[in-house]
Amino acid sequence: MQQNFRENCSKNGKNTIKCIINEEFLYHLQKNNVYYKCMPSIFAYSDYRAFMRDAFAEKKASCRFSWREFAKRAGYASPVFLKLVAEEKSSLSAEGIERVGLALGLTDREQGFFRLLVPFTHETNNAKKQKLFNDMRKIAALCKGHIVEANLYDYYKEWHHSVIRELAANVSSESEISKLLIPKIPLPQVKASLALLIKLGLLEKDSSGKYHQTNKHLTTGDGINSMAVRKHHENMGNLAVEALETVSKEERDISGITMGLSKEGFEAVKAELANFRRRIKEIAEQSESEKESVYRINLQLFPLSGEVKK
């Protein structure tokens, strides 16, 4: 779809027209110094409903197009069904995936990606969601496409990226970072991690080769990043279990409480944990200039029984 749109742009010789891509992977059409939003390739999407909304908006901007017309092209009797899907009030069936792809004129590879994108959007099982995502990335790579959130996914899915970010500004060499990590990882992985951190804007490298942390913070949503964050928590939990055997008592503090709580008590504990996280962050910021090691705190509050009926 993106390719066709850019070809159409170049055919109009009456006005100065060009497509530009910015850091958010959003294309814009410049016409007589007026900018119009132009959607990216389908391979940039991680939610099929967002793709449908953008595809509709692009078609509507270039010609007379309505949700009624969209539904008609896809073979739906209801003129508002696809609008409801795009608004996340309904969903597509397997047959609907084929209909919508045909109505939008997707190529075979775009349609193959769309067939994965729809179940990926709805999947709640983390393992199945990761499998779908990996398959989506393979198709996107074949088409030289890039899923916008893929780099953030790569950051969260591995435990060592956040640790290396903390070490990099205080360690003189990449090989030293490799030696300091617990558990250790090979030097090539350290270099790959540093490259990813720079790409994400979480680290900067000056002319002397020294790394510096930026003030950029990552945010997570309900899609790819949320899936990767769950994996990140799993990885960090496994490291905590390993630390019981590999780290001396003097260098760790692992404890827990099993307790009964009411719903009000549960919410009160969550609020206390939030306050605790803020206080720990303040302590870490105060010791910024005297960093000696990187530590991890896992805060976990979860039920061990169902609700007792009274």
Q: How confident is the model at residue 154 (pLDDT cuts 50, 70, 90)?
A: confident
Average pLDDT score over the chain: 81
The number of angstroms, rounded, from the C-alpha of 234 to the middle of its chain's C-alpha atoms is 17
| More confident site: 24 or 95 | 95
Specify the pLDDT at position 4: 39
Mean pLDDT of 25-44: 53
* pLDDT of 44 over the 70 cut: yes
Helix residue ranges, H only, the chain = 2-11, 48-62, 67-73, 81-86, 94-104, 108-122, 126-142, 150-157, 160-168, 174-180, 187-199, 224-246, 263-286
2-147 classified as CATH 3.40.50.20: no
Which long-range contacts does 47-54 make (Cβ < 8 Å, 24+ apart)?
47/117, 47/121, 47/223, 48/92, 48/114, 48/117, 48/118, 48/120, 48/121, 49/85, 49/86, 49/87, 49/88, 49/121, 51/114, 51/117, 52/82, 52/85, 52/86, 52/100, 53/86
Looking at residues 239-264, what average pLDDT do you find? 92
d(CA 259, CA 282): 28
- pLDDT reported for residue 12: 37
In this prediction, residue 146 has a pLDDT band, given cuts at 50, 70 and 90, of low
Q: What is the mean pLDDT of residues 212-222?
A: 65
Give the N- to C-terminal CA distance of the chain in Å, as an integer.
59
pLDDT grade, residue 81 (50/70/90)? very high
Q: Tell me how far CA of residue 68 lies from CA of 48, 77, 84, in angstroms.
A: 19, 9, 12
- In CATH, the architecture of 154-256 is Orthogonal Bundle (1.10)
Confidence of residue 148 (pLDDT cuts 50, 70, 90): low
Mean pLDDT of all residues in 108-114: 92
- Give the pLDDT confidence score for residue 21 in this predicted structure: 34
Predicted confidence at residue 286, as pLDDT, reads 79
CA–CA gap between residue 194 and residue 191 (Å, rounded): 5
Give the domain ranges of the chain: 2-147, 154-256
Q: What is the pLDDT of residue 121?
A: 93
pLDDT value of residue 297: 92
Q: Is the pLDDT of residue 240 over 60?
A: yes
pLDDT at 288 over 50: yes
pTM of this structure = 0.56
What is the band of 86 on the pLDDT scale with cuts at 50, 70, 90? very high
What does the pLDDT read at residue 2? 42
256 pLDDT higher than 90: yes
